[in-house]
Amino acid sequence: MPNSELRKRKNKQHNDRPNKSNTKKRKDKTVSGIHTSLLCLILSGSIFTTFIILYTDQIPWLIGHRAIDSIAKRFLGYHKPVYAVVVDAGSTGSRVLAYSFHESYFGNHLMLDKELFEYLKPGLSSFAKEPKKGAATIVSLLEKAKNEIPEEYWSKTPVVLRATAGLRMLPLDQSEKLLESVKEVFRKASFLTRDNSVEIMDGTDEGVFSWFTVNFLLDRLNGDPASTVAALDLGGGSTQVTFAAMTPVSLKQNDKIQLVASPRGQVPVYTNSFSGLGLMAARHAIITLNQGDAVNVTSECINPIIKKKKFHYHGTEYYVSGLQENYPTTNIKGTNIRIGEIVPIVSFSDCSKLISDYVRTKASPPEELPLKTIFAFSYYFDRATEVGLIDESTGGNVLLKDFKKAAEKVCHEANAEQAFMCLDLTFIWVLLNEGFGLKDTTQIFLHKKINGHEISWALGAAYDLLRGEKKN
């Protein structure tokens, strides 16, 4: 056999032998593929199992979704951020809340990650005669929102301004001029705007959005509506009472029932907004009672040591004093280092009677409210912290009678630093007791934040806004 033929056979035999290096590479790829498939299978199984457990109420809905989203983001690279900006033009100040959400891996539910909260005074309604000046205050709030949201998302981020009781109580021509000035500001903004981006919000929406916010943050919207809490919001111009309607009496009040969408379906919600029963509106009504258009006013609910204390309300400066004659006093006993003295006080019974007469003309007790777990916020929280009923940083819970005790104590002290505290606390107690039908033994949860997030109707409005944008 020629040598060339032999070499060909040897070369062929050599080439036909398995290449150990290539075989090892193919084996590694196969093993790697198996590992990847196995990992995906395990992840899919974990996510699916969590999903099943979640929807059979074995773990909290919010915790379950966050666990799934964390897995999806880390291993699958899934994360879809969504943003919204809401300006709350309240009667005593304007607030901007810039919300950062993401869409959940299952169901595309909006999951709140963080928010920016900024606040400035006075409220937009204080600029009734200077609309452009009022609108200029909104510019600074929008700039702060821009610092919170990545620039590439500005054009996709909807922004709205919703004015509450302060503008609702203004004459129509003044409120319209204010809104038009704000619309001009919005047209120049970098965010996504619509024709209805700047509006006066009615009390019904304010109540529903507040209720949604509280229960969303408590993770109560994903189970039995009976587990939700009632939301009591005390603003400057109005107050809202809102809860999931369960009794026939509540459900029959069609004019006060709203169907609210939740992850588990629609919930019939009772809401009632009381104009004139916000803290500042009530304060104004009490101190000006039977005094016409006077700006120098006296009140039985103000301590006699107070003389011409300034109170600004709806563009008018009032000078408020306590009674200057025929006022009650109390004796403070002397000690080894202090001489006894007679101190002027406010009669709690006289003041509460005055406030009761006012509240009864505007409020009617919702029959179902006493059956609910009650969360109260805004001025309820503020006044409770200012007299030491709860800790400002953590919030807490009190009995309604604690407000009464605090009011009686403050009314029987001469404290020029808290000139309106006697009136304010007495009003809160009368409102909750007589206006809303709560007993002195009713437990009230008072918070400014839940899980680090601000309690504001703005969160409910942002959620509703983003869901509306998704449909467009």
What is the distance between the alpha carbons of residues 236 and 92, in angstroms, rounded to a whole number? 6
| Mean pLDDT value across residues 327-353 | 79
Residue 46 has pLDDT above 60, yes or no: no
What is the distance between the alpha carbons of residues 85 and 310, in angstroms, rounded to a whole number? 34
What is the tens place of the pLDDT at every residue in 217-244? 999 998 899 999 999 999 999 999 999 9
Give the residues across from 81 on adjacent strands.
102
Mean pLDDT score of the chain, rounded to an integer?
87
The predicted structure's pLDDT at residue 6 = 39
Q: Which range (47-51, 261-265, 268-272) has the least confidence?
A: 47-51
Residue 325 has pLDDT above 50, yes or no: yes
The predicted structure's pLDDT at residue 110 = 87
Strand-pair category, 81-89 with 159-163: parallel
The predicted structure's pLDDT at residue 342 = 85
- Confidence band (pLDDT; 50, 70, 90) for 54? very low
330 or 139, which is more confident? 139
- Confidence band (pLDDT; 50, 70, 90) for 58? very low
Which residue type sits at 400? L
Residue 31 has pLDDT above 70, yes or no: no
Structure tokens at 128: 């009734």
From 274, 287, 276, select the one nearest 420 (Cα to Cα): 287
Q: Which helix (H) or strand (E) holds 267?
A: strand 265-275
Structure tokens at 351: 């003041």
- Confidence band (pLDDT; 50, 70, 90) for 2? very low
- Confidence band (pLDDT; 50, 70, 90) for 338? low
| Mean pLDDT value across residues 380-395 | 98
CB 332 within 8 A of CB 214: no
To the nearest whole percent, how much of the chain has pLDDT over 70? 80
Q: Which range (168-172, 319-323, 371-375) has the least confidence?
A: 168-172
Residue 49 has pLDDT above 80, yes or no: no
Beta strands in 29-92 (DSSP E): 81-89
Judge whether 238 is annotated as a binding position.
Answer: yes
Q: Which range (49-63, 146-160, 254-268, 382-396) has the least confidence?
A: 49-63
The predicted structure's pLDDT at residue 207 = 98
CB 51 within 8 A of CB 106: yes
Structure tokens at 105: 């891996």
Structure tokens at 353: 């009677």
Residue 403 has pLDDT above 90, yes or no: yes
106 or 142, which is more confident? 142
Residue 156 has pLDDT above 60, yes or no: yes
Judge whether 140 is annotated as a binding position.
Answer: no
| Mean pLDDT value across residues 377-404 | 98
Which residue type sits at 14? H
Backbone angles phi, psi at 444, to 5 degrees: -125, 125
Judge whether 394 is annotated as a binding position.
Answer: no
Q: What is the DSSP string of 111-165?
A: EEEEEEEEEESS-GGGGTT-HHHHHHHHHHHHHHHHHHS-GGGGGG-BEEEEE-H
The predicted structure's pLDDT at residue 468 = 83
The predicted structure's pLDDT at residue 63 = 57
Judge whether 240 is annotated as a binding position.
Answer: yes
The predicted model scores a pTM of: 0.84
Strand-pair category, 94-103 with 81-89: antiparallel
Q: Which helix (H) or strand (E) holds 375?
A: strand 374-378
What is the tens place of the pLDDT at every residue in 299-315? 999 999 999 999 999 88
7 or 393, which is more confident? 393
Query: Could you list the active site residues?
Result: 206
The predicted structure's pLDDT at residue 174 = 96
Residue 70 has pLDDT above 70, yes or no: no
Backbone angles phi, psi at 80, to 5 degrees: -120, 95
Judge whether 239 is annotated as a binding position.
Answer: yes
The predicted structure's pLDDT at residue 105 = 66
Backbone angles phi, psi at 130, to 5 degrees: -135, 70
What is the distance between the alpha carbons of residues 41 and 294, in angstroms, rounded to a whole number? 77
Residue 298 has pLDDT above 70, yes or no: yes
CB 302 within 8 A of CB 322: yes
User: Is 116 buried (19+), middle (13-18) or exposed (0-12) by CB count in 10 A?
Assistant: middle
End-to-end CA separation in angstroms for the chain: 84
331 or 216, which is more confident? 216
